[in-house]
Amino acid sequence: MNRYKAVIFDLDGVITDTAHYHYLAWKRLAESEGLPFDEAFNEHLKGVDRMGSLELILAQGSRSYSQEEKLALADAKNRHYVELIATMTPADVLPGVLDALAEVRAAGMGIGLASVSKNAFTVLDKLGIRDRFDQVVDAALIANSKPHPEIFLTAARQLGVDPKDCLGVEDAVAGVASIKDAGMVAVGVGSPEVLTRADYVIPSMARFRLGDY
């Protein structure tokens, strides 16, 4: 008897590495506003939605922005990001992901995707794996970004599974918090020193083994 009925994955940093594209797009925007931006600051944006990330970047300066200006900046960032991800192919699926999805499917479990990216469907299509997921949460319909548990709770509801019967897979601190606060078991992908709330931590998806959790 399987311990879980569904596995819900994050996208960025778990299924594929779009983090670098986000970094480039945010860096160009920050520099256009005369604000500092580097890889260390970018770590604070992991798992945070677009407007939340923009607020963190703009908070480094002293200028006040209207809501219309913020929306325009967020849109400019997204246009650049979309241009960057247009070059993605199935080769950009991270090592171990296809095996992990096949293992979960073979176990008869549901497979969900819980990403705050509003471009998740585009990325999945570029990777050629949208049909591997039973449910993909539409981030545009989520009111609260991670670390709020809404997106993982929504994924569980769409899959028709109780949250306590779900395994969540995330690479970001905010994402792990979202999984845990949803009442799920969390597998962190990365460093155990960083992902301290995760129940299990693996260095990469190549080490994902359903029977270990």
Question: Looking at the whole model, is its pTM more than 0.95?
Answer: no
10 is in an annotated binding site: yes
Please give the structure tokens belonging to residue 98: 């296809």
11 is in an annotated binding site: yes
HEC-encoded secondary structure of 75-142: HHHHHHHHHHHCCCCHHHECCCHHHHHHHHHHCCCEEEECCCCCCHHHHHHHHCCHHHCCEECCHHHC
Can you tell me the distance from the alpha carbon of 172 to that of 43, in angstroms, rounded to the nearest whole number? Answer: 9
Domains in the chain, please, with CATH? 6-16+92-212 (3.40.50.1000), 19-85 (1.10.150.240)
Percentage of residues of the chain with pLDDT beyond 70: 99
Can you tell me the distance from the alpha carbon of 94 to that of 22, in angstroms, rounded to the nearest whole number? Answer: 17
Write the pLDDT tens digit of every residue in 1-31: 578 999 999 999 999 998 889 899 999 999 9
180 is in an annotated binding site: no
- Residues annotated as catalytic are 10, 12
pLDDT at residue 158, rounded to an integer: 97
CB burial of residue 204 (10 Å; 0-12, 13-18, 19+): middle
Report the SS3 class of residue 206.
helix
